[in-house]
Structure 1
Amino acid sequence: MLCLRHAESENVTAGAAGALPSARLTAKGRLQAAGAARLLIGEGVTRIYAGTAVRARQTADIMARTLGVEVVALRDLAEVHVGRAEGAVDPATRARTAAVLRSWIVDADLGEAVADGEDGHAVTARIVTALTSIAAGHAGGTVAVVGHVASLTTGLSALCGLGRQVWGAPLPHAVPFAVEYDGRSWQCLSWPSPAAAHGVTGAAGS
């Protein structure tokens, strides 16, 4: 399985928090998605799974045109929903979001939430369910999964036991990395360099 965060989108450049499903890719993001597709040529990708947000679907669709594969949208791959704080751009919301994500990823304390949004138990459960289902359906094959920085990091941290290893290294846009499942356990074989990251460490909705 090759996972990646969607390409740069309008909510990222605006610094807005939350799932924001209607945010679209920027011009730069469209170029990033095309670049991700070129990286995967020859990798044997047979299908692309993506969250239902516009930015995730646009990233996957651009990649699919190059790779000649089908895109399947899964609601469980969505970004973390932050309830009434959706779309907020104030420093206090961003600080709270970072603190909640740190509690999930570093401290494995999944009970925290931003405003009246999802807690870590809900986010982890749906990402784990989605990735396990995808892996089970493609044993021995290669698929790409387009997700979001906060939810994907939270889910993979739980599956692969990443924790502090990835805190401070937010996923850069549209950079594929390998994740393996052998039917019993998961391994995150690599994590993209933080030098390539965009945005603020720990900010959900990017």
Structure 2
Amino acid sequence: MSDHVRVWCLRHGESENVTAAIAGAVLSAPLTELGRRQAELAAQALTDEPISGIYASTALRARQTAQSLAAAGGISVQAMPELVEVGIGRHEGSSDPAVRRQTADVLRAWVVDDDLEQRVADGETGREVVTRVTTAFLHIAEQHPGETVAVVGHVASLTAALGRLCALGPAVWGTPLPHAQPFLVEWTGATWRCPSWPGTQTLRGTSLADLIHNS
């Protein structure tokens, strides 16, 4: 059996923490009405894909988005805490614009400057985020050799981790993942590839050896 795994990744649909401009992982925030429609459209877009597994962050908005995919394909959702959004420690749930600016600055440091030691307050470092999300993706790939799966996550944690996994570097900065828009990530058995990133084009990847060396 082929080791090649196709992963349809997507950020959750629009959620109440987004519309209220609340920072942090905010695990209890649900989808808005628009977010539910976006999730349904994502499910329709993937109707013809032979999806054999659906994984989601444990955040409510991610699980609700994944449920739309699951309902369309008759597959249960597996929640993974490793896929949650970036933790920002004592600032979790803040609506202070200064906290949101700091969060954006830290993400930029991770993605553009390759400085994974930065963090917001007493929250996670980029290295911690990349490590846990990478662990999730490797586990998923091990469970589904030769198959196609879907993963529902979050804008910052997916960007930080996939930018590293697929060696995209600064190319993904300035093009934040839109809500509930699936994009393909592939595991060849040795290399992760992102054939495209919403808003950009790339054919770059990173080998497993490089991934282990740089982790």
TM bracket, shorter-chain basis: over 0.9
1:140 to 122, 133, 146: 146
Residue type of the partner of 1:148?
H
Structure 2 unaligned segments of length 5 or more: list them.
Answer: 1-6, 201-215
Moved more, 63-72 or 32-41: 63-72
**Any residues of structure 2 matched to 1:180-191 within 5 Å, and which?**
180-191=186-197
Pick one of 55, 79, 92 that aligns with 2:61: 55
Give me the identity figure in percent.
57
What is the alpha-carbon distance in structure 1 between the residues aligned to residue 196 and residue 127 of structure 2? 25
Would you say 1:121 and 2:100 are equivalent positions? Answer: no
Could you give the per-residue CA deviations for residues 97-150 of structure 1, whole angstroms, max 9, x where no partner exists?
A: 111001101111000000110011110000000011101211110000000000
Tell me how far 1:193 sits from its aligned partner. 2.8
CA distance in 1, matches of 2:76, 2:93: 31
In the TM superposition, what is the alpha-carbon distance from 1:66 to its structure 2 partner?
Answer: 1.2
2:112 aligns with one of 106, 113, 127: 106
Q: What 5-or-longer segments of structure 1 have no aligned partner?
A: 195-206
Alpha-carbon distance in 2 for matches of 1:34, 1:63:
7
> Comparing both structures, which one devotes a greater share of its residues to strand?
2
Return the match for 1:95 from 91, 96, 101: 101
The equivalent residue for 2:42 is 36
Q: Say which of 154, 157, 180 aligns to 2:163.
A: 157
RMSD: 0.9
**Residue pair 1:51, 1:77 contacting (<8 A) in 2 also:** yes
Q: Mark the structure with the bigger radius of gyration.
A: 2
Q: Which amino acid aligns with 1:113?
A: R
Q: Does 1:11 align with 2:51?
A: no
Normalising by structure 1, we get a TM-score of: 0.92
Normalised by the length of structure 2, the TM-score is: 0.88
SS of equivalent to 2:68 = helix
